[in-house]
Structure 1
Amino acid sequence: MSRFAVHRAVALVTGAGAGIGLATAAELAGRGASVLLVDRDDAAVAAAAARLGPRTAAVTADVTDPDAMTAAVAEAVRVFGRLDLVVANAGVTPPPATLRTGDPADFRRVVEVNLHGALHTVRPAIEQLITHRGHVVVVASCAAYSPPLGGSAYMVSKAAVEVLARALRLELAPHRVGVTTVAFGFVDTGLARATLDEHEVGPRLSALLPGPLRRRITPADAARVIARGAARRAVRVTAPRAWAPLGVLRGVLSPLVDAVVVRGPGAGLVRLLEREHRAP
């Protein structure tokens, strides 16, 4: 497939009210694309579009609502005449907990937003993407091959998102539509800080990782990765790049990493999480 012309694209970006989504909308608009920003936070997404200028528009929609996302795609076509780039970025993290003590509703919410939300974002856009030989970017996570301790719903959902992107890539390739899976390590967003910095388990989990894997990139860095990946119609991009070998070798390394966690600090972290959620 030829390169994708980001500078002429009409893009739809979810989770665009803040963080990676907002930075991606800004990056794409800065490269000349027209962008529909989608977020469930009405005030945030409207303000973001107003700041980014006349080549952008805003829609309030929750990615867990397939009808709302169908309407968002229709709005992109109404406003800009077509749609040829979709960035399925919206995601949430659960409150730190174990599967034993966490609220099952939190688990369901994470899967609904991160996995079903990606599907609801891409599916209604497929006919437009085929017509214009467009491109899809699915934002996954290096958490998919990290130890699933304290936030297993997120790891599970992002592993599933990877497979979803793979299925889309196989099914859309005959129609000349590309799909890029983006796997991020740590991006310095409010969502990440709430998990990694503001809860006492976060720094302890981070300390288990080698130094290069603890490095955080900015949302602007992440947005450039997304835009470059789309332009190249890359199959997969990883940032920071130090995570890439773990992604390639996960089948070999994951059991070893889990064994180290179980023999080392894992038991203490589990007890800490369970004590936090146990009734007094």
Structure 2
Amino acid sequence: MDGIVAAGGSASVHGGDVSDPAAVEMMAEEVGRVFGRLDTLVLNASGGLERDADPGYALRLNRDAQVDLATAMLPLMPDGGRIVFVTSHQAHFFREKGDVPQGYAPIAASKRAGEDALRELIPEFGSRGVGFTVVSGDMIDGTIIVRLLERRDPSSVESRRAAGPLPTIEEFARMIVRAGTVDVAGGHTFYVGGDDYVAANTVG
């Protein structure tokens, strides 16, 4: 946030549990009260690898909360607004590949379910002039997910590093900005890193 301000912008923080519908509603009310509108919504929440997570948490967070948040914020979004859903290659291609790091299957399945549920809402988004895009990334160097995977299944991270340098957080962030601004068809997917992984799953 300090970097945004230093660059001449403005920033504020509102904390809330996006898996709690009441908290999501409060967040939407706060955005409406303070700003009056929301031009871009980035759905970047993800979880389920936490040691104390209950069996249903991944689906509640990665699917249900994403739909609830998009639905709650949609009335605040003007014509030309954009919703960006952030996911991983392992989740985006879960149906095609299914081969994911140890312990990651519930997260991958729930993230794919979230993407599918949001894609079903594209006609509703479009009726309001709001676009929807997806950003799918390879393992992103320096993120908590990679650190958790290194503890649970070190070989999965080693194999991705062996295929080439992992994309950085900065590269991922730049693609999210692109997904929120460029003119593309609704539902377009932007890929970050893992060219070998993407090619292997999109042939035909």
Q: TM-score when scaled to structure 1? A: 0.61
Are the structure 2 counterparts of residues 246 and 79 from structure 1 closer, same or farther at C-alpha, using a change threshold of 3 Å? farther
Is 1:125 matched with 2:125?
A: no
C-alpha contact 1:141 1:184 (8 A) present in aligned 2: yes
The CA deviation at 1:209 is 5.2
C-alpha contact 1:186 1:215 (8 A) present in aligned 2: no
Is 1:203 matched with 2:158?
A: no
Q: Which residue of 1 aligns with 2:99?
A: 147
SS of the equivalent of 1:217 reads coil
Are the structure 2 counterparts of residues 187 and 218 from structure 1 closer, same or farther at C-alpha, using a change threshold of 3 Å? same
Q: Note the alpha carbon deviations across 1:122-151, whole angstroms, 9 max, x for none.
A: 11111122x433110011221123514422
Q: Note the alpha carbon deviations across 1:27-64, whole angstroms, 9 max, x for none.
A: xxxxxxxxxxxxxxxxxxxxxx4553361111110110
- In 1, Cα distance between the equivalents of 2:171 and 2:178? 11
Q: Which residue of 1 aligns with 2:199?
A: 245
The CA deviation at 1:173 is 2.0
Q: Which residue of 1 aligns with 2:167?
A: 217
Structure 1: stretches of 5+ with no match in the other structure: 1-48, 97-102, 253-280
SS of the equivalent of 2:191 reads strand
- In 2, Cα distance between the equivalents of 1:68 and 1:95? 21
Question: What code does the residue aligned with 1:139 have?
Answer: V
Are the structure 2 counterparts of residues 237 and 195 from structure 1 closer, same or farther at C-alpha, using a change threshold of 3 Å? same
1:176-195 alignment runs, 5 A limit: 176-195=129-148
C-alpha contact 1:140 1:183 (8 A) present in aligned 2: yes
Q: Note the alpha carbon deviations across 1:182-209, whole angstroms, 9 max, x for none.
A: 1111112341233232x1x422223455
Q: Which residue of 1 aligns with 2:62?
A: 114
State the identity as a percent.
24
C-alpha contact 1:186 1:216 (8 A) present in aligned 2: yes
Are the structure 2 counterparts of residues 241 and 223 from structure 1 closer, same or farther at C-alpha, using a change threshold of 3 Å? same
SS of the equivalent of 1:187 reads coil
Q: Which residue of 2 aligns with 1:174?
A: 127
The CA deviation at 1:232 is 1.1
Are the structure 2 counterparts of residues 187 and 117 from structure 1 closer, same or farther at C-alpha, using a change threshold of 3 Å? same
SS of the equivalent of 2:12 reads strand
Q: Which moved more, 1:167-176 or 1:118-127?
A: 167-176
- The root-mean-square deviation of aligned C-alpha atoms, in Å, is 2.5
1:97-108 alignment runs, 5 A limit: 106-108=54-56
Number of aligned pairs? 191
Q: Which residue of 2 aligns with 1:52?
A: 4
- In 1, Cα distance between the equivalents of 2:199 and 2:115? 16
Q: TM-score when scaled to structure 2? A: 0.81
Are the structure 2 counterparts of residues 108 and 233 from structure 1 closer, same or farther at C-alpha, using a change threshold of 3 Å? farther
Structure 2: stretches of 5+ with no match in the other structure: none
Is 1:61 matched with 2:16?
A: yes
Are the structure 2 counterparts of residues 215 and 196 from structure 1 closer, same or farther at C-alpha, using a change threshold of 3 Å? farther
Q: Note the alpha carbon deviations across 1:142-197, whole angstroms, 9 max, x for none.
A: 11235144221111112112212311223322332110011111112341233232
Is 1:85 matched with 2:12?
A: no
